[in-house]
Structure 1
Amino acid sequence: MSSFIKIAVDAMGGDNSPEKIIKGIIHHHSRNKDIFYKIFGDENTISKHLNNKIDRNNYQIVNTLNKVSSEDSPLEAAKRGKDTSMWLAVESIKNKDCDIIISAGNTGGLLVISKLNLKMIDNIDKPALSALWPNKKGMSVVLDLGANIECSSKNLFDFSVMGASLYKSLYPDETPKVALLNIGSEELKGNETIKETFKILNDKKTNDFEFKGYIEGNELMNGDVNVIVSDGFTGNVALKTAEGTASFITDELKKALGGTMIGKISSLLNISNLKKFKKRLDPRLYNGAIFIGLDSPVVKSHGGTDYIGFSNSLDVCCRIIKGNLIEKIKKNI
């Protein structure tokens, strides 16, 4: 059992749980036999959905009927007690029973419960919420996406190191290229915090990543950089704007190609290209945000995703553990 990656799963968070979560685990297990899932939640319901579709050696259910709801404030989530599925899942990595925890539940609740249970990595003041975004050449790591509204230059520097470490863990053969999200590419642009961070990164001599300066919002998808750093306010606005734009384009294309006979014929003729386009913009492929800065890895799956999206975020968990993310951050910071 020691060679298994052990994932703690909060089965009660997000829409359609635990059914979606268990279907995601079954789908993930069909392609990964060396994972052990420690599943926290309502044992009766979880067992029904599992229905013996996973080898008994690959999972354990920890029964609890208490859960954090999506409507809870972060404080309410923490006050719900230490027997919620989310709290117990986080506690299992604190106690080293598992390597990593994943939840599709309340984001604020997960962050507060994680901070109450887990220590910060030495010399890091704040954890950041990071995620994967597609670009023209592959994928980018973007952080912070909302955990910290206000950040100092020290925080942004830490995010740069952590983001580069995360990118290297997920893509071991590639070089992290770090840029600061700003309102212009010239050195004089931006607020004092951004300018200070620019100077710190520019002066730092490191083999861990390349610093590429500033990047503007319209260049996020170019692929010239693959680690994009900002404060949580700016990052969250950029994320929601990108998600909304992708959804708008997909919906408008559907309308255009389904509205008239010519559109329908055109879509049939281009079906292969349209499938590629749809797949490229499918948010399920990029599911799985990561709280980094804590001394154990915490992954947040989108609450509204389906079982395929949840299965993909379980893949992210495996790559983080195989890529030794925490050790890389400790070494690089």
Structure 2
Amino acid sequence: MNDDNTTTIAIDAMGGDYGPKVTLAGAALALERRPDTRFLLYGDAELIDEALKEHEALAAASIVRHCEMAVAMDAKPSQALRQGRHKSSMWRAIEAVKTGDAMVAVSAGNTGALMAMAKFCLRTMAEIERPAIAAIWPTLRGESIVLDVGATIGADAQQLIDFSMMGGAMARALFGLEKPTVGLLNIGVEEVKGQDEVREAGRLLKESNLERIDYHGFVEGDDLGKGTVDVVVTEGFTGNVALKTAEGTAKQIAGYLRDAMSRTFLARIGYLFARGAFDRLRDKMDPRKVNGGVFLGLNGIVIKSHGGTDAEGFAAALDLAHAMARYDLMNKIAADLQTFHDRMSDAPLKVDESESAGQ
């Protein structure tokens, strides 16, 4: 289905808490916003065809490919990989990227299973030891990218550097930045603070003087919301805790506002006068607007949507998939990684030549 004028996205239609009811409704919304999109829909053909009756335009822009099984949301990754290879809707959506039938795969299914299948099917890029999940983070300045938010628990200095390169490439593709700023998440901004791996990664990034990213230095937790840098890099445990904390805080504040605005008659009157401002705030804090985690470091693009999202949230994940495919994310990542590793491999030679010249 791919040609120069269309973007083909493979969808695990059975993924998530609600299956085709939400995934196809989200695809219909995404198609309205980006008519150049085409879809490969993987899953139970009977259920998909039934759901497509409500979305004529989507049906015309899609091909349905029947799959024997769907990966359960509570399945263990090893079990899903063993039982679902080659026949599950999740596997076949990923496989479509490998074969070139689609430019990107999107699933709202089991995160662990999706990562296991993506790694097994697509393999990691040549210079990458472990992949990362990158999330879009709303900030006071606009949006930033944060990675890793759950793919890799723990990371050494080299992996943090690789995450920096991949996040920088994604920021260039998504935000149109020529040289995005990158910061390493730490317990303080001073160079003597933090774990050895983080301090070593910071030293190497600083000394490399890279052309495609601007290394800012260490950033702290409150810098996430400020938007101090375009890309925040950390390992998966810390990143996932930060992500879940931010999502929970957003829901908490929204709850406080609803309660405060309905508590008294005067408060309800005040809400009517300030309704426009509150609507903008609600829209800014809506996690559906930034739904979608990008698996980086693989030989293909895979996007994970929240399993419990609605049609609007799934459409946002598809919007992100469209952007990543059209703005050549894979080639940008490969070029940035190659530049960094070439520079690092040349560094000892340059030092030796300098020392020889001084003798």
- Give the TM-score band, short-chain normalised: over 0.9
Q: Report the counterpart of residue 95 of structure 2 in structure 1.
A: 91
Letter paired with 1:255: D
Question: Whole-Å Cα distance in 2 between the matches of residues 254 and 57 of structure 1?
Answer: 41
Residue deviations 1:32-68 (CA, integer Å, cap 9, x gap) = 2211100001111111111151265521000124000
Contact 1:26 1:50 survives alignment (8 Å): no
For 1:69, which of 63, 69, 72 is the aligned residue? 72
Alignment of 1:16-27 (within 5 A): 16-27=18-29
- Structure 2 CA distance, aligned partners of 1:250 and 1:55? 34
Match of 1:40 in 2: 42
Q: Does 1:9 align with 2:1?
A: no
Which of 67, 77, 81 is the matching residue for 1:78?
81
* Equivalent pair of 1:172/1:323 in contact (CA under 8 Å): no
In structure 1, the residue matched to 2:235 is: 231
* 1:198-237 pair list within 5 angstroms: 198-237=202-241
Unaligned runs of 5+ in 2: 338-359
Deviation at 1:119, TM superposition (A): 2.1
CA deviation digits over 1:82-123, x for unaligned, max 9?
A: 211001111111111111100000000000001110121111
For 1:249-270, what per-residue CA distance to the aligned partner results, in whole angstroms no more than 9, with x for missing partners? 1101101111211221111111
Q: Does 1:175 align with 2:179?
A: yes
Match of 1:139 in 2: 143
1:110 aligns with 2:110: no
SS in 2 for 1:317: helix
* Contact 1:184 1:216 survives alignment (8 Å): yes
> SS of 1:54's equivalent?
helix
Q: Describe the SS at the equivalent of 2:105.
A: strand
Query: Could you tell me the percent identity over the aligned residues?
Result: 37
Corresponding residue SS for 2:87: coil
Deviates more, 1:198-207 or 1:273-282: 198-207
- Structure 2 residue 250 is the aligned partner of structure 1 residue 246: yes
- The question of 1:59 aligning with 2:62 is answered yes
The CA deviation at 1:174 is: 5.3
Aligned counterparts of 1:111 and 1:321: Cα–Cα separation in 2: 19
Q: 1:266 to 1:109 in 2, by over 3 A?
A: same
Query: If the length of structure 1 is used for normalisation, what is the TM-score?
Result: 0.98
CA distance in 1, matches of 2:45, 2:246: 38
Please report the RMSD computed on the Cα atoms of aligned residues, expressed in angstroms: 1.2
- How much has 1:173 moved relative to structure 2? 4.0
The CA distance in 1 between the partners of 2:274 and 2:66, in whole Å, is 50
Is the 2:122–2:299 contact (alpha carbons within 8 Å) kept by the matching residues of 1? yes
Return the alpha-carbon distance in structure 2 between the equivalents of residues 232 and 248 of structure 1.
24
Q: Which amino acid aligns with 1:16?
A: Y
Deviation at residue 31 of structure 1 after TM alignment: 2.1
Deviation for aligned residue 1:246: 0.9
**Distance across 2 between alignment mates of 1:95 and 1:322:** 18
Q: Deviations over 1:302-330 (max 9, x none)?
A: 11110011111111011101110000011
Give the unaligned 5+ runs of structure 1: none
Instruction: Tell me the residue number matched to 1:123.
Output: 127
| 66-75 or 26-35: bigger deviation | 26-35
The 4+ residue runs of structure 1 with deviation greater than 6 A are none
Whole-angstrom CA distance in 1 between matches of 2:273 and 2:60? 48
Q: Give the helix-richer structure, 1 or 2.
A: 2
* Alignment partners' CA distance in 1, 2:204 and 2:251: 37
Distance 2:301 2:133 in 1: 11
